[in-house]
Amino acid sequence: MRKEFEKGFLTPQPVFIVATYDEKGNVDAMNAAWCGQVGLNQLSISLSPHTTTENLKNQKAFTVSFATKPQIEACDYVGIVSLSKVKNKMEKSGFTVTKSGKVNAPIIDQLPVAIECKVLSITEEYGETRVVGEIVGMSADESVLTNGKVDLDKLQPVMFDSSILCYREIGANVGGAWNVGKKLM
């Protein structure tokens, strides 16, 4: 027997912390799980009306950092509180930032991997704002690298489980991509 659902969902989803400046240079960050990579050099985010959404329209630049287990409380906090209501949101989150050298957007110091993006397009479709960003840079703290590559065991990124609304750890490496299936050839 299979249970039928009225609405479908994809899970797990990535958890990105989108960081932006407003027109006065104030920093904001929000949690975005409705976000994904498109091709090699772009990513797309589905947005409701938020301070971040306005910032993206105005600044045309943003960073996304992978949410991590060590920073799980701050990552969730920026997803439940708006800068429009809590003026010291960033201070309360405990996140500090350094300006990206590539785009006019902040990088969150406490999150070791950040992707820097320029806004390519913003469209209002199906009741949402869809932002496509061009990935123009990425940086990772050396503490999460092994042989020069991002090591997820060290980074400890979290995924969003949209079935029961929680964050989950990533598990073990269970097989090489474009590789383990060769056994069936």
Which positions touch ligand FMN (CB under 6 A)?
28, 30-35, 46-48, 50-52, 76, 79-84, 160
Q: In this complex, which beta carbon is closest to ligand FMN, that of residue 21 or of residue 160? A: 160
**What is the edge-to-edge ordering of all strands in the sheet holding 13-14?**
13-14, 158-161, 166-169
Measure the CA–CA gap between 158 and 68, rounded to whole angstroms. 5
Q: In this complex, which beta carbon is closest to ligand FMN, that of residue 10 or of residue 172? A: 10
For the bound state, the minimum distance from the C-beta of residue 169 to ligand FMN, rounded and expressed in Å, comes to 15
Q: Which residue is nearest to ligand FMN (CB)?
A: 79
Burial category of 69 from C-beta neighbours within 10 Å (exposed 0-12, middle 13-18, buried 19 and up): middle
Q: In this complex, which beta carbon is closest to ligand FMN, that of residue 43 or of residue 47? A: 47
Q: In this complex, which beta carbon is closest to ligand FMN, that of residue 76 or of residue 151? A: 76
Q: Please, which residues bridge with residue 125 across strands?
A: 128
For the bound state, the minimum distance from the C-beta of residue 26 to ligand FMN, rounded and expressed in Å, comes to 10
- Please give the backbone phi and psi of residue 147, each rounded to the nearest 5 degrees, phi first: 50, 40
Q: Where in 15-69 does DSSP place strands (E)?
A: 16-21, 27-32, 35-38, 42-47, 61-66
Q: In this complex, which beta carbon is closest to ligand FMN, that of residue 62 or of residue 144? A: 62
- Strand duo 16-21 + 61-66: pairing: antiparallel
For the bound state, the minimum distance from the C-beta of residue 149 to ligand FMN, rounded and expressed in Å, comes to 27
